[in-house]
């Protein structure tokens, strides 16, 4: 067996010389110092610390050295690679900090300025008016009552003195829910809320009940199959038609300003006596005529507003209340047409199209 070959050609391992290693380190450090961004530094890492860098290639040449020379060469190359790696890590931290500081300045947001993050919506004019109406009654000490839209036949008709043969029960007006014999329907008025309140609340009772109602009406400029009502109910001792007139006077002035109302005899099954209430046109104030036409009241000077009356004793008895002790009054009006009166909207179909421009213009135009 021959001994180890201690003779080698220095030219074949020139990359491992002290001068060469120092040169590789100097070039790497210069490149690291010249990098101005983390992206540039990443390229420097590949060129001076990657698998194809000069120091990595020099490290591969160690195997060509005789055993006696490998230890010193390995230590020299390892130290050099450590210096380059340390310099890259230090520079990476410096550049990352600089870029973060620059980003914070460039992306700074002034939190004191108003910013519209997304397009703003608007309350529907019907919602706005219902809120305003309820505020008037809450200010008088009344309560707001709500009930289900899917209602039982007894609450919607029988308890309100609408007998089995009343024409309002027909399919031409009422939307019945299958199966037909179940006695379920979409409420045709908000009066069932009043019946439920009479059955569950203590007397005296002062409530207002707004909400959707459903009828088999045509879908046109003046009719909708789904519309809104607001009804009021008072049951107490000593209540008369005069109290009803005072409440409606106050309510009309709160809604339309200094206006006058009038009451005309009418018939409703659930009130007796009953009346239709007209409000003096709040545009022409009753002064319209052939020479001064008014589109709002059609030059009649009055606008039909709501129905009302003294609660029928039969309704009180159906709810377990003694009409000899208690009396009351009720009224109801359409919210949708009231919005039309106040905003000049020509077509009820605009109310259900979902166009945000209509809601904004209607709110600006008069309901608020």
Annotated binding residues for Mg(2+): 272
Cα atoms found within 13 Å of the Cα of residue 43, Cβ hemisphere only: 8
DSSP type of residue 365: I
Taking a C-beta distance cutoff of 8 angstroms, is the pair 188, 215 a contact?
yes
| Binding residue numbers | 272
Contacts of 120 (CB under 8 A, 6+ apart): none
Strands 271-280 and 302-311: antiparallel
Query: 225: how many CB neighbours lie within 10 A of its CB?
Result: 14
DSSP 40-57: HHHHHHHHHHSTTSHHHH
CA distance linking residue 54 with residue 31, whole number of Å? 13
Q: Find the angle CA(193)-CA(197)-CA(199) to the nearest 5 degrees.
A: 120
Which is nearest to 251 in space by CA: 136, 94, 83? 136
What gap in Å lies between CA 205 and CA 145, rounded to an integer? 11
52 Cβ contact partners less than 8 Å away, ≥ 6 residues apart? none
Enter the tokens of residue 356.
């945000």
Distance CA 82, CA 212 (A): 79
Residue 24 DSSP class: H
Q: Which residues is 144 bridged to in the sheet? A: 208
Phi/psi of residue 210, nearest 5 degrees: -95, 160
Structure tokens at 53: 């860098």
CA 293 to centroid of chain Cα atoms: 42
Distance CA(178)–CA(180), nearest Å, equals 5
Q: What share of the chain is helix, strand, coil (3-state, %, to 5)?
A: 45, 20, 35
Task: Enter the tokens of residue 260.
Answer: 């006058």
């Amino acid at each position: 067996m021959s001994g180890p070959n201690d003779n080698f050609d220095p030219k074949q391992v020139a990359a491992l010389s002290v001068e060469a290693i120092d040169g590789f380190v100097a070039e790497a450090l210069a490149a690291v110092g010249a990098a101005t961004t983390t992206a540039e530094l990443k390229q420097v890492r590949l060129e001076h610390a990657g698998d194809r860098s000069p120091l990595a290639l020099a490290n591969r040449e160690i195997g060509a050295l005789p055993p006696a020379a490998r230890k010193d060469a390995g230590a020299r190359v390892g130290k050099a690679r450590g210096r380059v790696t340390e310099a890259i890590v230090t520079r990476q931290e410096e550049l990352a900090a600089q870029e973060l500081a620059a980003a914070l300045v460039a992306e700074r947001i002034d939190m004191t300025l108003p910013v519209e993050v997304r397009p703003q919506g608007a309350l529907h004019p019907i919602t706005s008016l219902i809120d305003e109406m309820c505020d008037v009654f809450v200010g008088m000490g009344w309560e707001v009552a709500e009930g289900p839209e899917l209602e039982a036949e007894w609450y919607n008709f029988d308890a309100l003195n609408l007998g089995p043969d009343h024409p309002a029960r027909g399919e031409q007006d009422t939307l019945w829910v299958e199966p037909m014999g179940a006695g379920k329907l979409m409420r045709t008025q908000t009066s069932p809320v009043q019946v439920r309140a009479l059955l569950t609340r203590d007397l005296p009772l002062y409530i207002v009940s707004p909400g959707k109602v459903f009828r088999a009406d045509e879908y046109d400029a003046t009719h909708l199959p789904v519309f809104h009502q607001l009804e009021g109910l008072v049951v107490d001792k000593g209540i008369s038609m005069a109290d009803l007139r005072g409440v409606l006077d106050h309510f009309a002035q709160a809604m339309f300003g200094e206006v006058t109302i009038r009451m005309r005899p009418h018939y409703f099954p659930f009130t007796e006596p009953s009346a239709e209430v007209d409000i003096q046109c709040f545009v022409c104030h009753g002064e319209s005529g052939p020479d001064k036409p008014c589109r709002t009241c059609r030059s009649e000077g009055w606008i039909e507003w709501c129905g009302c009356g003294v609660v029928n004793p039969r309704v009180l008895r159906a709810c377990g209340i003694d009409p000899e002790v208690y009396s009351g009054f009720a009224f109801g009006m359409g919210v949708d047409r009231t919005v039309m009166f106040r905003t000049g909207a020509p077509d009820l179909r605009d109310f259900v199209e979902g166009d945000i421009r209509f809601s904004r213009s209607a709110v600006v135009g008069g309901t608020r």
